[in-house]
Amino acid sequence: MTDLPDRRLLLVHAHPDDESINNGATMARYAAEGAHVALVTCTLGERGEVIPPGLRHLAGPALGAHRRGELVAALRELGVEDVRLLGGAGRYGDSGMMGIPDNEDPDCFWQADLDEAAGSLAEVILELRPQVLVTYDDNGGYGHPDHIQAHRVAMRAVELADARGHRVQKVYWNRMPRSVAEAAFVRLQDELPGLPFAKTATVADLPGVVDDERITTTLDGGAYGAAKAAAMRAHVTQIDVAGSCFALSNELAQPLFTTEYYELVRGEARPGETDLFAGVTPEAS
């Protein structure tokens, strides 16, 4: 790909919807500012639980195809056009939640050969030459096997691309500061009587929650909150959005955050950093 903008951001996620929940405001902000924003999704989420009764007939490949359409619609809301499926559509199947027999399916992402999958992602890195990459921590945020594998693949792909001539200058993990999460759930509990959900989730249900001092970077996405909410609504099989909160298939309300938080794990963090591209050089390899 030629004539890419000076700023290039690559995000690596496990399933359709993860990108909008974790990074929707960030993606919309950088796309609006003219950066090249690209997403690699590792599976189509064929084993996801479907919320709307009218769509619960979808399962397996049919659900995956439907969720691929949801993904395209969500990215349209965020102003992002470059979305890739790792290894091509259907290459890696959804592994299901940790500890179930589906984890043993030889075609699922959890069983993927690490260097093969990372090699496919490294090709994307070498094509797009991103200065910044965003993915999960080593627990995948909350222990889902596909999220853990996405972390492993992303970190290994950064190494492989580096060895072949392109250095990703900054790598971030998705995070949520504990104090912010706790305060948000206090507010949400007060709002619950006016919401279509009977109960709230808890801080322990959120992915990537860490002590505040682990946070290196805070992205104010308030101007893009509506875009993030619209993107999440596009994932209709997986997310039920109601105002400033949402629920997954467990029907437990959780806050919809428009400020998004990160931990820099490769590169130099600047105190009070508010820009993922802080300190990057446009064409350094």
| Residue 217 covered by a domain | yes
CA gap 12, 109 in Å, rounded? 14
| Residue 285 covered by a domain | no
Q: What is the predicted pLDDT for the residue at 283?
A: 67
For residue 1, what pLDDT band results from cuts at 50, 70 and 90?
low
| 15 marked as part of a ligand binding site | yes
For residue 269, what pLDDT band results from cuts at 50, 70 and 90?
confident
| Residue 248 covered by a domain | yes
| Residue 2 covered by a domain | no
The predicted-structure confidence for 102-135, as pLDDT tens digits, reads as follows 999 999 999 999 999 999 999 999 999 999 999 9
For residue 285, what pLDDT band results from cuts at 50, 70 and 90?
very low
Distances (CA, A) of 99 to 13, 102, 144: 20, 8, 10
| Residue 112 covered by a domain | yes
Q: What is the predicted pLDDT for the residue at 186?
A: 97
Q: What is the predicted pLDDT for the residue at 271?
A: 86
Angle between helices 18-32 and 60-78 (to 10 degrees): 30
Q: Contact, 78 vs 20, CB < 8 A?
A: yes
Total domains in the chain come to 1
For residue 3, what pLDDT band results from cuts at 50, 70 and 90?
confident
pLDDT tops 50 at residue 18: yes
DSSP string, 233-276: HH-TTT-EEETTEEE-TT-EEEE--SEEEEEEEESPPPTTB--T
The predicted-structure confidence for 172-196, as pLDDT tens digits, reads as follows 999 999 999 999 999 999 999 999 9
The predicted-structure confidence for 22-46, as pLDDT tens digits, reads as follows 999 999 999 999 999 999 999 999 9
Question: Looking at residues 154-162, what average pLDDT do you find?
Answer: 98
Distances (CA, A) of 57 to 54, 62, 150: 7, 9, 28
The predicted-structure confidence for 247-259, as pLDDT tens digits, reads as follows 999 999 999 999 9
| Residue 276 covered by a domain | no
| 235 marked as part of a ligand binding site | no
| Residue 272 covered by a domain | no
* Mean of the per-residue pLDDT values of the chain: 96
Q: In what order do the strands lie in the sheet with 245-247?
A: 199-200, 252-255, 245-247, 240-242
pLDDT tops 60 at residue 47: yes
Q: Contact, 228 vs 183, CB < 8 A?
A: no
Can you give the CATH number for the domain in which 108 is found? 3.40.50.10320
pLDDT tops 70 at residue 282: yes
**Residue 128's domain spans which residues?**
8-266
Distances (CA, A) of 220 to 173, 223, 242: 16, 8, 21
| 147 marked as part of a ligand binding site | yes
SS3 category, 82: strand
Q: Contact, 10 vs 40, CB < 8 A?
A: yes
Backbone dihedral angles phi then psi of residue 135, each to the nearest 5 degrees: -155, -165
- Of all residues in the chain, what percent carry a pLDDT higher than 90? 95
Q: Which is nearest to 153 in space by CA: 129, 123, 130, 175? A: 123
